[in-house]
């Protein structure tokens, strides 16, 4: 009786069998033998978790092929059992299924091999019966020369590429573009304590115990960021004092984060603050000898700006004090004429008396410097009271600018009254109001004469006695360094 105990399941005729069919049986065996060196494809039932491939006895089937390709659509890993479990054979098996799932090749209860989707593995079965195993045929493969036309993927977490011990092994890309390391992106030298690694934020890092030594003939070009993350990190240059750190296009350097350049020790530094201000350490000086410094934008100086030891004046808030002696009463609703009052001790007063019964006015003129920004002004009134009444006094101010060839017969702007100030109750005490709100001057412009009208607003105060105006302090803003 014919048997099929060989690894290719070919028909083996017993003595005396096959009379008249021996040629047919032999031709079939030769065909099946040829199939065992060829290519076969087998479809797995859609989304099956298990599948069986059995080499048929004495007839054609894809499982016998040397190269076996599995197709079909899977939604999970599928275990494929190859039988019979007594067959010992080599296969190249390709996982060409759809769905990105792996297949597991097994024969018995022994070891099996997983083939990820899209990959091909060379495996063999040991034919050990119920305990049969599938083995990776290329495990520990030794190859004198290996040429790879596409990707070389090491999928194991512990995968290692080992080179020879002659010290001359070079790992290069054939077109000279170099190598790309993925995943951990780590090159380890000597031991795990020395390595170069690209971290997840895209920064190439050299471990703190490792040193990159670039000889004098080597140039290093950094196309993006060069970061020193350690608090004690040092970027060291040569000792010839000629080393220059420059940008190749001549635009200079940009420092981010703390924006600090330190000199000698931490107490001497230049730093760009978060407000984009360039700050010097408190003990530092910039010595510019016969050098011009151009500042095209705004230069913010929070401390003193000096020339030699003298302070340099900068644009900003300025004051003008106008004494009562420089004022004159209005012709209509005017205050009393300027009077000089002798006190029992100390200064004599030059003052204008404003009574408590009605609003009275006085005027004065000012010519602001060209550096004035032609904006609003504020004021404080300096006054006193003869008597002991502690009522409040309210002073107001309005103004108008008169340009060259313009009519002086022009109305004042809106009168602004400062917060009424209470008198102390001690006769002839100096009294100063709080700074007023903004006073808008009509027709404000440079190269004008500005007329001001100061008034006592009796409807806004409670003082029963005459208020004696001593002077007005004006606050205005400049926006130029001088009047040139």
- The answer to whether residue 100 is domain-embedded is yes
Task: Tell me, yes or no, whether 80 and 130 share the same domain.
Answer: yes
- The answer to whether residue 232 is domain-embedded is no
pLDDT over 90 at 170, yes or no: no
Task: Tell me, yes or no, whether 359 and 420 share the same domain.
Answer: yes
Cβ(443)–Cβ(399) below 8 Å: no
How confident is the model over 364-388, as a mean pLDDT?
96
Task: Tell me, yes or no, whether 131 and 174 share the same domain.
Answer: no
In 3-state terms, what secondary structure has residue 27? helix
* 13-28 confidence digits (pLDDT tens): 777 787 778 888 888 8
- The answer to whether residue 75 is domain-embedded is yes
- The answer to whether residue 436 is domain-embedded is yes
Host H or E run for residue 407: none
pLDDT score at 208? 47
Tokens representing 440? 């808008």
* Torsion angle, alpha carbons of 425, 356, 326, 470, to 10: 0
Cβ(40)–Cβ(65) below 8 Å: yes
- The answer to whether residue 14 is domain-embedded is no
In 3-state terms, what secondary structure has residue 122? strand
Give CA–CA dist 20/290, Å, rounded: 119
In 3-state terms, what secondary structure has residue 6? coil
Task: Tell me, yes or no, whether 462 and 418 share the same domain.
Answer: yes
- The answer to whether residue 285 is domain-embedded is no
pLDDT over 70 at 355, yes or no: yes
Task: Tell me, yes or no, whether 186 and 86 share the same domain.
Answer: no
Give CA–CA dist 456/424, Å, rounded: 18
Give CA–CA dist 58/8, Å, rounded: 9
Most trustworthy range by pLDDT among 104-108, 180-184, 293-297: 104-108
Phi/psi zone of residue 233: left (φ > 0), alpha (ψ -120 to 50 degrees), beta?
beta
pLDDT score at 11? 77
Find the CATH number of the domain harbouring 390: 2.60.120.260
Q: Is 12 exposed, middle or buried (0-12, 13-18, 19+ CB in 10 A)?
A: middle
Domain that holds residue 177: 165-215
Task: Tell me, yes or no, whether 181 and 113 share the same domain.
Answer: no
Task: Tell me, yes or no, whether 467 and 378 share the same domain.
Answer: yes
Cβ(325)–Cβ(364) below 8 Å: no
Q: Mean pLDDT across the chain, nearest whole number?
A: 83
84 upstream amide cis, omega within 30 of 0: yes
pLDDT over 80 at 77, yes or no: yes
> Would you say the pTM of this structure is higher than 0.95?
no
Number of domains comprising the chain = 3
At 259, the pLDDT band (50, 70, 90 cuts) reads low
Phi/psi zone of residue 310: left (φ > 0), alpha (ψ -120 to 50 degrees), beta?
beta
The residues, ordered by sequence, that sit 6+ positions from 210 with a Cβ below 8 Å of its Cβ are: 189, 193, 194, 195, 196
């Amino acid at each position: 009786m014919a048997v099929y105990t060989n690894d290719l399941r070919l028909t083996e005729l017993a003595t005396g069998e096959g009379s008249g069919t021996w040629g047919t049986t032999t031709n079939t065996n030769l065909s099946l033998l040829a199939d065992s060196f060829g290519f076969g494809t087998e479809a797995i039932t859609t989304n099956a978790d298990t599948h069986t491939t059995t080499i048929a006895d004495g007839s054609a089937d894809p499982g016998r092929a040397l190269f076996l390709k599995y197709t079909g659509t899977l939604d999970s890993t599928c275990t494929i059992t190859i039988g019979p479990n007594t067959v010992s054979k080599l296969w190249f098996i390709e996982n060409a299924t759809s769905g990105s799932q792996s297949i597991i090749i097994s024969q018995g209860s022994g070891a099996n091999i997983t083939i990820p989707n899209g990959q091909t593995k060379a495996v063999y079965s040991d034919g050990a019966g119920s305990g049969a195993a599938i083995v990776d045929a290329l495990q520990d493969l030794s190859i004198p020369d290996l040429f790879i036309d596409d990707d070389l993927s090491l999928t194991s977490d512990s995968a290692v590429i080992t080179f020879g011990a002659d010290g001359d092994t070079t790992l290069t890309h054939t077109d000279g573009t170099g190598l790309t390391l993925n995943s951990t992106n780590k090159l380890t030298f000597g031991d795990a304590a020395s390595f170069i690694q690209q971290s997840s934020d895209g920064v190439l890092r050299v471990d703190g115990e490792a040193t990159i030594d670039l000889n004098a003939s080597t140039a290093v070009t950094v196309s993006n960021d060069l970061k020193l993350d350690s608090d004690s990190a040092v970027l060291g240059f040569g000792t010839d004092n000629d080393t220059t750190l420059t940008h190749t296009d001549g635009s200079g350097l940009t420092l981010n984060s703390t924006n600090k350049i330190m000199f000698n020790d931490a107490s001497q530094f230049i730093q760009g603050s978060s407000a984009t201000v360039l700050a010097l350490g408190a003990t530092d000086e910039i010595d510019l000898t016969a050098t011009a410094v151009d500042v095209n934008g705004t230069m913010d100086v929070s401390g003193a700006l000096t020339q030699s030891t003298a302070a340099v004046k900068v644009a900003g808030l300025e004051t003008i004090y106008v004494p009562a002696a420089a004022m004159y009463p209005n012709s209509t609703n005017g205050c009393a004429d300027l009077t000089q009052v002798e006190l029992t001790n100390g200064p004599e007063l030059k003052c204008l008396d404003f009574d408590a019964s009605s609003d009275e006015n006085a005027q004065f003129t000012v010519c602001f410097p060209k550096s004035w920004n032609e904006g609003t002004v504020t004021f404080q009134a300096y006054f006193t009271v003869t008597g002991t009444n502690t009522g409040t006094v309210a002073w107001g101010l309005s103004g108008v600018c008169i340009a060259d060839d313009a009519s002086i017969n022009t109305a004042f702007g809106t009168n602004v009254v400062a917060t009424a100030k209470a008198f102390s109750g001690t006769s002839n005490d100096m009294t100063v109001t709080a700074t007023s709100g903004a006073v808008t001057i009509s027709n404000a412009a440079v190269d004008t004469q500005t007329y001001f009208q100061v008034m006592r607003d009796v409807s806004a105060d409670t003082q029963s006695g005459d208020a004696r105006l001593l002077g007005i302090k004006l606050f205005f803003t400049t926006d130029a360094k001088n009047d040139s």
